[in-house]
Amino acid sequence: MSKVTRQESSEPMLHAVTPYGRRGGSSRVRVHEWVDRTTAICSVTDYIGHCDASAGHLAGHAREVAGSERTLRRLAAVASSRLLLHREASPLSRGALECRLLRSAEFAVYDLDDALYEDHGQGGVLRRWAPKSQKAEYCARAADRVVAGNALLADWASQRNGDVVVVPSCVATERYRTKSDYAGGDVPRLVWIGSRDNEAHLRLLTGPLLELHRRVGARLTLIGTLQPRLGALEELIDRVAWSEDVQHTTLADADVGLMPLPDDAYSRGKCGYKLLQYAAAAIPFVASPVGVNAAILHQFGMPAPVAADEWIDALLQLLGAASDREALGRQARRVVDRDWSYDAWLPAWEAAVGVRHQQLTPSVEPSEGQE
């Protein structure tokens, strides 16, 4: 499926290629939201327009898949003036199609917002056939520039490309309802938002969350899928189906946001987007200090627990102190507006993808002996 936005501009068209439609979190955050804001002429090709690229889902949309594959090959046969490739073009490709797209353009940018180079194909047959690590390697080398979501991703990319720029995953702060009443209700309310694949991270907090439920009756609003899959935690979870409107309006109903993460190579590459969403809703948050999360927690002055008892202590303290929640929540909203919003970063993004004539200094210097 393709979507084209045309506005008055003297700049060349930007052709953006992304594996998901707007409901896919990474594609929405890293491509669609920017296209909504820029005055440049943009064309977005988003594969079959869905948020699920599993083998089973693709098999159920065979006609759309075939059409998308034809579209991508036609695009690769034409020399685009500006091309932005986010993550991958096709879940069926092993990297050759992505390289053709990048090399056919006059100026090509590869956008990376996860440690895909650590995704070596564990899981289903499609992921084993077309591991993302291999594609990320090829794309980083084939692109004229890599735009990375954080410094860790930029460091990896700098070993493969001499032009690397950091543009973080930003948040549309103006769309979020902000919390106004921090007094708290009879039931303390925690919140987590995310995809089906990431729900398993909540299992890291099974003990602390059950203990909080026992002590103070705390419950967890899970904004994502409706299918129960978290075992003992389900007794304290209230599931809400994700939608753009829900994510913008529901977070402010909670007292504290959560983002537990395992300390592994893939998680260290994440961009901390949940934390920015909580900040946009003006609620405090508690998260694992893994990867960029550590810097975000420090900047916003939020707790960074590691052990289970530290999680319990941090959450009990926040849930028991409305004045602290209000101070942290209001401060978080000010900081995210200033440092992490699309409005704040739009000029840098436009320069990074080549739709504005602006000299950029790579955020990460190339290593000696780099190819």
CATH for 173-339 is: 3.40.50.2000
Largest CA distance in the chain: 63
pLDDT at 50: 78
CATH of segment(s) 2-170+342-352 = 3.40.50
Rounded Cα distance between 350 and 148, Å, is 14
Give the residue ranges of the chain where pLDDT is below 70. 1-11, 123, 357-371
Residue 359: phi and psi, rounded to 5, are -75, 130
Check if the beta carbon of residue 145 is closer than 8 Å to that of residue 166. no
DSSP characters over 79-112: --SEEEEES-S-TT--SHHHHHHHHHSSEEEEEE
Beta carbons of 279 and 148 less than 8 angstroms apart: no
pLDDT recorded at residue 112 = 97
Backbone φ/ψ region at 240: left (φ over 0), alpha (ψ -120 to 50), beta = beta
Pairing of the two strands 256-259 and 189-193? parallel
Per-domain boundaries in the chain: 2-170+342-352, 173-339
DSSP readout, 99-156? HHHHHHSSEEEEEE-S-GGG----SSHHHHHS-HHHHHHHHHHHSSEEEESSHHHHHH
pLDDT digit string (tens) for 123-165?
677 777 888 999 999 999 999 999 999 999 999 999 999 999 9
Using an 8 Å Cβ cutoff, are 297 and 304 in contact? yes
* Dihedral, CA of residue 319, residue 279, residue 112 and residue 23, to nearest 10: 90
Distances (CA, A) of 284 to 151, 276, 304, 307, 327: 24, 10, 12, 19, 9
Would 2-170+342-352 and 173-339 be classified into the same CATH topology? Answer: yes
**pLDDT score of 10:** 56
d(CA 154, CA 163): 10
CB neighbours (10 Å) of residue 158?
Answer: 22
Q: What is the pLDDT of residue 218?
A: 98
pLDDT confidence of residue 162? 98
Tell me the pLDDT tens digit for each residue of 71-90.
999 999 998 899 999 999 99
